[in-house]
Structure 1
Amino acid sequence: MKKILLLSACLSIIPGTTLAQNTTAGTIELDMPGHFQRQSVSFDYVRRDVMIPMRDGVKLHTVILVPKDARNAPILMTRTPYNADHMTSFASSGDMSSVLEGYDNMTDVIADGGYIRVVQDVRGKYRSEGRYVMNRPFRGPLNGTQVDHATDTWDTIEWLVHNTPESNGKVGIIGISYDGFTALTALFHPHPALKVSVPMNPMVDGWIGDDWFHNGAFREENLPYIYDQDATPKNDEKWWSNHYDAYDLYLNAVSAGALGKSRGMEQIGFFRQITAHLAYDSWWQNQAMDKLLVKEGLTVPTLLVHSLWDQEDSYGAVATWYALENVPTSARNLSIVIGPWNHGGERVEASKLGDIKFRADTGYYFRKKILEPFLAHYLKDSTISLPARVSEFRTGENIWETASKLPAPDCASECKALHLEPGHGLGFTIPGVDAGAAQYTSDPDHPVPYVPRPVLTKGVTGSPWKYWLVTDQRDVASRPDVLTFTSEILTKPLTIEGEPLVHLTASTTGTDGDFVVKLIDVFPDQVSAQPEMGGYQLMVSADILRGRYRKSFEHPEAIPANTPQLYKIALPFTNHTFLPGHKIMVQIQSSWFPLYDRNPQSYVDNIFFAPKAAYKPATISVDIRNSWIDLHTK
């Protein structure tokens, strides 16, 4: 004890070692200031956090990143529900390219190009005021207010061009997915300073083929997204599961509506809306961006970006192209690029997707050879030439090609019919009248998983969600409730482009049912350059149709039992070469779970809340002679 006291006495007389020099004896000096001021003098950009007022008085949180010494620089903005702070604070570095890493931020174009980067929280999300509405409809029948995304964009641009002295007064808007949707909304009554829009993998029509439904079948795997995104402004509430395997979670819940209610989702307006609007009624049609743009007209140069294996929005970009290309005043402002990516995969290194290799970084090619000159042409005082109106990557051969247009969505004389054949064959010759039928039994209690189990849902560590569209289909082909038809080995290449159109004639013992059709490239048994690809079954294009909508998307009706019906399904756009030594395969099944909710296979008014007793097995008979796929061939 004496030694300790002596040491304390010595310390007390050493200059500069007095305890709590600026505080009362016995108190603790706090480490954390009330507000820490970042010293950013060494940064290569200036950050401004502002609240921009909208015409109704609501203020939207906006992050503005201005490169140091910027003069006469264009503005490139993104409007997002995904947290503007997060999208502009990815690193502690003072380097702008590092800070911008992440969603929607293609640093080798934005930072290297000297753009003033603007990212804004849409109203009601994160630090923006107001109330959030999922895919807020435009002013009109579904929106009785005086504001929408178009007005918010206009008001934001108006403020930016008057309060950003470093800019040249030219503004572009860019975004992926939901942010691609907001890039499209900017095209309605656009601000004069808006010179270009780049909607990438945009949400366009949530019923026909984007996030929420595909041809009437509900994408059940999106329930967690709706829960997280719509429950609170800052996504504070997180979806929870008591199952490791999402297959069990959704199966045990019986229906998508019952699972949503078990999580309290009836409190969420968007959940109530989708469970009330099952058919393609006016509520959906009045929000379909491709249809609305035809009425509006396209006056701003627009580059649509589409991914061939987009697991979330496989419909919108191509649908928008087809809607506008025959409107001369709009078509002249329209370009499109189609690449071998998943959802948003064009923004990162993209020399492969899952197990599929492309020989080169296709993402870098897009950003530097297409996106960069496109933006510079319209936003800078530049003589840089525009890229081609249509730029496409052809998978299989793995090459880029250009064109002035895409093949028409409906098949004309250049189409070839790929026919089902007896004995599970596949070819280009019409089978005889005695071709017969192929049957399988679909049991809702044992639905076909869309990926091998355990199904790890989107966002869970190890989930295959980003790459599931290119996963090997052999595991599915071995199931008795999946019909598989395979061609002979190809002796010469077969190139297809466009939307394969399925003509499926089938009957069911039930009164409703789903039909999934997949077009597949079967690799040779041995692939010397990549042995693990031997026999690989690669989905080239695939989709689903809910049988009650076979005649009309607006007016569902029960399927007459044991009566052949025609089911026409337009599959997602593809540009692919089946190489010599490969085979073509078609798979047909009646569930794709839990990507899509189960069809009870007995007709009920609202599948979202179908009772357990409604789910019944059904035997499906496919009429081989009267079933084929129209292919645009080159």
Structure 2
Amino acid sequence: MIKALLLATLALAPLAASAQTPPMMPDTVPEYERVRPQADYIRREVMIPMRDGVKLYTVIVMRKGMKNGPILLSRTPYDASAATWRIPSQHIEDILPVMDREFVNDGYIRVYQDVRGLHKSEGDYVMNRPLRGPLNDTPVDHATDTYDTIDWLVKNVPESNGKVGITGSSYLGFTSLMALIDPHPALKAAVPQSPMVDGWMGDDWFHNGAFRLNSFDYFTGQMAKKNDGAIPHGNGDDYTTYLEAGSAGDFARAYGLDAFAVTRKFMEHPAYDSYWQNQAVDKLLAARKLTVPTMLVVGQWDQEDSYGAPAVYRALEPQDKSNDMVSLVIGPWRHSGVNYEARELGPVKLRGDTGLEFRTTVMKPFLDRYLKDGAPQTPTPPTFTYATGIDQWQVRPTWPAGTMKPVYLQKSFALSWSKPDGGSDAYVSDPANPVPFEPRPVHFKDSDAWRTWLVHDQRFVEGRPDVLTYSSAPLDKPVHIMGAPKVDLWAATSGTDSDWVVKLIDVAPDGSELPIGIEIFRGRYVRSFEKPEALKPGRAENYKWSLPNVNHVFLAGHRMMVQVQSTLFPLYDRNPQTYVANIFNAKPGDYRKATQTIYHDAAHPSAVWLPVAEN
């Protein structure tokens, strides 16, 4: 017995020695498979061909054992691979974004795709690639790419039931909307969130003609092929950086940003010309018949894309004779806040996780209804909005849900429902000392500050001589508004151009000032967004524009407040207050002080019209 064991050991010795790894064998491997056999999911990476031969990188994720599952698609410029590998893990809930949890845990197949020209997708990238037509002479756009993607998915994902929904926020909201143009028959529902709809009127790049300076960071971060795209201007106060640079165009040229075609396009089209009009997604959709049930979502304090979802709702609602094809959701969120834990926003404390509550009680039943075989046919609320101030979700048949009622600016800086009986107020706007949009120092890279600037206590600008503040008496009963407040401002400038900023504020008994809506208007567009003109010094003009859509209750004991100013820097570029053909090219000598006069008399009744709801 002992002899036999000894012979066996000797026989194995050469094999054991030869199985050792040589000391100088290279230690790198061509690829490490991160999805291990114990994973509870399947993750496939595929290249889907488009009609022009370009292939788009696509990631398909589902739980193991999936059968007859609906597909939920998102098309992104922000890296589909990273979106589907959020935390290295063998659990599907870990690798996907938080908002996907409710869906993949209930039989959905989650698909993310890089848009053409970015990350692992082939082709050329164009910002918000226009629809085929006057601005796009190629045979492809986001509508065709989505069609071709869905066509491939329903034919090549055997675990699916052949039904597809599309969703996503911001740029992904834009691609979700573009899918509704000549949609694939398998596309059964859409949930565009905070979509980029009109980049000049009020989403991302411009607001009523005023340019957002932090757009430059977005351009470089998304489109620089080498390095990380960060503009190398240091970590100082962005207020100082942009002020010292001069005009927005001077800043762009100083840092080589005009090398980006998108920068040149924007600088060449400062007014609302055909370049912008032909890209406005609400106009594109209004010209087509809506065939896909659509739920539009936006945050009440969306700091990037507050305009788009309500604009598309306005465009599509006239088609919705059954009041069941298009719905609008407004939550108490920041930009894209619906997809995260949403218990608070800066000083605004909410009753619970409002994002999760919406996703589970409204969004998922909506998608289930159209995508899951045999799902309950739960009716979709026509509008579902969160009333801040009283912290409750509310359903209304249409939006806006209030009747417009003016609250007037008055003498002695009062604010009331009564018509004004005379007077005016003035301030000097100095482009060398613009009003900051948030307390200094300003750092656009500070994501927490950026996400919450729209709810920042506005007492930080009190005492500035270039900010006028009008306040009501304490309210004896609540005032509930549901819709977009409308600015109706009578004003004059001693210059030949001017910006106007109006803030609607809820003042609590402790004196804190919560903004309910803040928006800017570039004066040169008072008569036409397409054809600007110089203002006549000293002439009172009637400026009209909208604040963001809100559902808010000013409680009894609170005061309503309106602030008026002419700068909101460095979020928006400075108006030189001297008319020049293109503000991107304004010279240092064009920037001049101007005396701004706000009227509140019988002939010029400045007001903010509030959509007052009857409870």
TM range (shorter): over 0.9
**Distance apart, 1:407 and its partner CA:** 2.0
Q: Output one character per residue of 1:452-489: Cα deviation in whole Å (capped at 9) or x when no partner.
A: 000011x34x6500011000000112211000001101
Is 1:521 paired with 2:506? yes
**Equivalent in the alignment of 1:322:** 314
Q: How many angstroms apart in 2 are the aligned matches of 1:197 and 1:165? A: 22
Is 1:200 paired with 2:190? no
Q: How many angstroms apart in 1 are the aligned matches of 2:387 and 2:77? A: 33
Q: Output one character per residue of 1:260-301: Cα deviation in whole Å (capped at 9) or x when no partner.
A: 122212221111111011111111111101111010221001
**Equivalent in the alignment of 2:385:** 392
Which of the numbers 537, 540, 552 marks the counterpart of 2:516?
Answer: 540
Is 1:242 paired with 2:218? no
| Structure 2 residue identity aligned to 1:399 | Q
Is 1:126 paired with 2:102? no
Which of the numbers 309, 317, 323 marks the counterpart of 2:301?
Answer: 309
Which of the numbers 577, 584, 592 marks the counterpart of 1:616?
Answer: 592
Matches within 5 A, 1:587-598: 587-598=563-574
Which of the numbers 33, 41, 46 marks the counterpart of 2:42?
Answer: 46
**Equivalent in the alignment of 1:474:** 459
**Distance apart, 1:17 and its partner CA:** 10
Q: Output one character per residue of 1:155-193: Cα deviation in whole Å (capped at 9) or x when no partner.
A: 001110110000000001101000000000000110000
Q: How many angstroms apart in 2 are the aligned matches of 1:74 and 1:377? A: 11
Which of the numbers 442, 446, 449 marks the counterpart of 2:433?
Answer: 446
Which of the numbers 554, 576, 581 marks the counterpart of 1:600?
Answer: 576
Name the SS for the 1:622 alignment partner: strand
Matches within 5 A, 1:132-211: 132-211=125-204
Q: How many angstroms apart in 2 are the aligned matches of 1:230 and 1:589? A: 35
Name the SS for the 1:175 alignment partner: strand
**Equivalent in the alignment of 2:416:** 427
Is 1:580 paired with 2:562? no
Q: Output one character per residue of 1:387-423: Cα deviation in whole Å (capped at 9) or x when no partner.
A: 3111110111111110111127xx9xx3221001110
Which of the numbers 344, 368, 373 marks the counterpart of 1:352?
Answer: 344
Name the SS for the 1:439 alignment partner: strand
Contact 1:297/1:330 (CA < 8 Å) preserved in 2?
no
| Structure 2 residue identity aligned to 1:270 | V
Contact 2:164/2:371 (CA < 8 Å) preserved in 1?
yes
Q: How many angstroms apart in 2 are the aligned matches of 1:392 and 1:66? A: 32
Q: How many angstroms apart in 2 are the aligned matches of 1:337 and 1:253? A: 40
Instruction: Rate the CA distance shift 1:454–1:130 in 2: closer, same or farther, 3 A.
Output: same
Contact 2:324/2:382 (CA < 8 Å) preserved in 1?
no
Instruction: Rate the CA distance shift 1:426–1:59 in 2: closer, same or farther, 3 A.
Output: same
Q: How many angstroms apart in 2 are the aligned matches of 1:575 and 1:59? A: 44
**Equivalent in the alignment of 2:246:** 254
**Equivalent in the alignment of 2:407:** 418
Is 1:283 paired with 2:275? yes
| Structure 1 residue identity aligned to 2:465 | P
181-190 or 491-500, which deviates more: 491-500
Q: How many angstroms apart in 1 are the aligned matches of 2:420 and 2:172? A: 48
**Equivalent in the alignment of 1:528:** none
Name the SS for the 1:464 alignment partner: helix
Instruction: Rate the CA distance shift 1:17–1:263 in 2: closer, same or farther, 3 A.
Output: farther
**Equivalent in the alignment of 1:221:** 214
Contact 1:229/1:235 (CA < 8 Å) preserved in 2?
no
**Structure 1 length as normaliser, TM-score?**
0.92
Contact 1:455/1:463 (CA < 8 Å) preserved in 2?
no
Q: Percent identity?
A: 51
Is 1:112 paired with 2:105? yes
Contact 1:258/1:609 (CA < 8 Å) preserved in 2?
yes
**Distance apart, 1:226 and its partner CA:** 1.1
Q: How many angstroms apart in 2 are the aligned matches of 1:30 and 1:370? A: 54
Q: How many angstroms apart in 1 are the aligned matches of 2:430 and 2:326? A: 46
| Structure 2 residue identity aligned to 1:45 | Y
Q: Output one character per residue of 1:38-64: Cα deviation in whole Å (capped at 9) or x when no partner.
A: 352111111111110000000000001
**Equivalent in the alignment of 1:363:** 355
Instruction: Rate the CA distance shift 1:39–1:288 in 2: closer, same or farther, 3 A.
Output: closer
| Structure 2 residue identity aligned to 1:478 | G
Q: How many angstroms apart in 1 are the aligned matches of 2:477 and 2:205? A: 39
Q: Which runs of 5+ in 1 are unaligned?
A: 1-13, 526-534
**Equivalent in the alignment of 2:546:** 570
Q: How many angstroms apart in 1 are the aligned matches of 2:450 and 2:259? A: 27
| Structure 2 residue identity aligned to 1:199 | P
Is 1:88 paired with 2:84? yes
| Structure 1 residue identity aligned to 2:538 | N
| Structure 1 residue identity aligned to 2:470 | F
Number of residue pairs matched? 597
**Distance apart, 1:369 and its partner CA:** 0.6
Is 1:632 paired with 2:611? yes
Instruction: Rate the CA distance shift 1:390–1:343 in 2: closer, same or farther, 3 A.
Output: same
**Distance apart, 1:113 and its partner CA:** 2.1
358-367 or 237-246, which deviates more: 237-246
Name the SS for the 1:325 alignment partner: helix
**Distance apart, 1:429 and its partner CA:** 0.4
**Distance apart, 1:31 and its partner CA:** 2.2
Instruction: Rate the CA distance shift 1:330–1:230 in 2: closer, same or farther, 3 A.
Output: farther
**Equivalent in the alignment of 1:75:** 71
Contact 2:346/2:455 (CA < 8 Å) preserved in 1?
yes
Q: Output one character per residue of 1:326-380: Cα deviation in whole Å (capped at 9) or x when no partner.
A: 1246964101111000001111111210011122221111111111101111100
**Distance apart, 1:109 and its partner CA:** 2.2
Contact 1:180/1:200 (CA < 8 Å) preserved in 2?
yes
Name the SS for the 1:305 alignment partner: strand
Contact 2:487/2:544 (CA < 8 Å) preserved in 1?
yes
616-625 or 259-268, which deviates more: 259-268
**Equivalent in the alignment of 1:8:** none
Q: How many angstroms apart in 1 are the aligned matches of 2:411 and 2:557? A: 22
**Distance apart, 1:34 and its partner CA:** 2.1
Contact 1:170/1:193 (CA < 8 Å) preserved in 2?
yes
**Equivalent in the alignment of 1:5:** none
When the two chains are superposed, the root-mean-square deviation of aligned CA atoms in Å is: 1.8
Is 1:60 paired with 2:49? no
Q: How many angstroms apart in 1 are the aligned matches of 2:64 and 2:227? A: 33
Instruction: Rate the CA distance shift 1:19–1:249 in 2: closer, same or farther, 3 A.
Output: farther
Contact 2:324/2:380 (CA < 8 Å) preserved in 1?
no
Contact 2:216/2:257 (CA < 8 Å) preserved in 1?
no
Q: How many angstroms apart in 1 are the aligned matches of 2:224 and 2:581? A: 27
Query: Structure 1: which 4+ aligned runs deviate by more than 3 Å?
Result: 14-23, 328-332
Q: Which runs of 5+ in 2 are unaligned?
A: 1-12
Matches within 5 A, 1:459-470: 459-460=445-446, 463-470=448-455
**Structure 2 length as normaliser, TM-score?**
0.94
Q: How many angstroms apart in 1 are the aligned matches of 2:289 and 2:578? A: 43
| Structure 2 residue identity aligned to 1:99 | I
Is 1:551 paired with 2:527? yes
Name the SS for the 2:318 alignment partner: coil
